[in-house]
Amino acid sequence: MPLPVISVIVPCYNQAQYLDEALNSVLNQTYENWECIIVNDGSPDNTEFVAQKWCAKDIRFKYIFQKNAGPSVARNSAIEQAKGEFILPLDADDKIAPEYIDLALNAFNNESSLKVVYCKAEKFGDELGLWNLKPFSLYNLSKKNMIFCSAIYKKSDWKRVGGYDVKMDRGIEDWEFWIAILKDGGNVKRLDFIGFYYRIKKISRHKQFDEKTEKNTVEYMCIKHADFFVNQLGSSIELNNDLEQTRNDYRRKLKSKKFVIDVFCNTFFGFTIFNNKNDLY
């Protein structure tokens, strides 16, 4: 039985100086039945020169160009042309470990219910060390993304949800994508090894994601996936009721002299005064 093809998708915009490292990490994979599609997203640097050099080196590398449209459009354009049953997005400034694809596809082969496989991650560049991400659960995913963009999934799931949302062109499009493919079921596996290397730079697209843009983007995502957020976090009515209950609890406690003294002592001296085990606020 032939091994499945995996398509590695590498969009590049103003990252030509890092592209060699990213593509070299693909070339070094122990799993050999891959293709790598490099997408020049209208980059003004020498992305085309670097990409064509790799295409000449190994026929598994392919190159396409598009006018600048952002990572969602770039990924979608490449995945549309991809031959692989599996997809691995890789940003042009990041890297993967040699065993990553091999171990991930073994996991898919052993567990038919899997929709997403990823691994532990490490930072490099302007910041070093393990990238501490919360364990996956749908509840945790509803509060914050813990699956980096370079997780592996099936092309059929990409097609089922309509790909990456091109309206999310300012950031967090990968978070929305994971919600889209996982909210109706399917399992996720994080491999117990460091297989992804995330470059930290002083200036990056994520760091330029200002508060207003983030607010608008998150609001759009919450409306699009309202069913998911209600299922995981409760309705807005429930959340308002919980908030009001919490406020009432604190108002009641703040009327208690003992509570105020306890808070003061905990804050400044690190101990609590207990007058009576049956004290009520």
How far apart are the C-alpha atoms of 227 and 112, rounded to whole Å? 26
State the residue range of the domain holding 181.
Answer: 6-225
**The pLDDT value given to residue 213:** 82
CA distance to 18, 189, 196, 232, per residue, from 176 (Å): 26, 18, 20, 15
Q: Is the pLDDT of residue 189 over 80?
A: yes
Q: How many domains does the chain have?
A: 2
> Is pLDDT at 256 greater than 70 in this prediction?
no
Q: What is the pLDDT of residues 47-102, one digit of tens each?
A: 999 999 999 999 999 999 999 999 999 999 999 999 999 999 999 999 999 999 99
Evaluate whether residue 188 is within a structural domain. yes
Note whether 98 and 43 are same-domain residues: yes
221 with 248, same domain: the answer is no
Single pTM value for the model: 0.82
280 located within any domain: no
CB atoms within 10 A of CB 124: 15
Residue 271 is predicted with a pLDDT of 47
Q: Are residues 221 and 85 located together in one domain of the fold?
A: yes
Same domain, 150 and 15: yes
Return the beta strands (E) in the chain as ranges. 6-12, 34-41, 61-66, 86-89, 95-96, 114-125, 129-131, 152-154, 187-200
Both 219 and 247 in one domain: the answer is no
- Whether residues 135 and 260 fall in one domain: no
Sign of the CA dihedral with 42 first, then 48, 52, and 55 last: negative
pLDDT for res 92 = 97
244 shares a domain with 159:
no
The answer as to whether 218 is a domain residue is yes
Can you give the pLDDT at residue 2? Answer: 83
Same domain, yes or no: 244 and 212: no
Tokens 């592209």 sit on residue: 19
Say what the alpha-carbon torsion angle 46, 48, 53, 59 is, to the nearest 10 degrees.
160
Question: Per the domain annotation, does 273 fall within a domain?
Answer: no
Neighbours of 129 (CB within 10 A): 9
* 279 domain residue, yes or no: no
**Are 204 and 256 contained in the same domain?**
no
Residues 171 and 256 in one domain: no
Whether residue 276 is contained in a domain is answered as no
